Amino acid sequence: VPNSRVRVENNLIEGCNDGIVLLGCLKQIQVVGNRLVNCGRLGLELENLLPGAEGILIANNTVFGCTESLRVWDKGVRGKNVT
């Protein structure tokens, strides 16, 4: 079952190992305007998106003090309208 119509917006995520991780079959997801600070491993990650994933927007986030800012953990970005 896909997760759909989710917005993660204007959050402060601080001092965790992983900030925001998106994985699986996602539809109409927005990750916008978040601050990810001192996350040990990564700020944002797209991981193993399934072929049905679509409409994912990642925009205007600030990542500071994380080992990796953005990681795509896959052979490539799959799905439609992933921006």
The whole-model pTM stands at 0.88
Ordered DSSP codes for 25-83 = SEEEEEEES-EEES-SSEEEEEEEE-TT-EEEEEES-EEES-SEEEEEESSS--SEEE-
Q: Is the pLDDT of residue 80 over 80?
A: no
Give the tens place of pLDDT for each residue, 20-58: 999 999 999 999 999 999 999 999 999 998 888 999 999
Q: What percent of the chain is modeled with pLDDT above 90?
A: 75
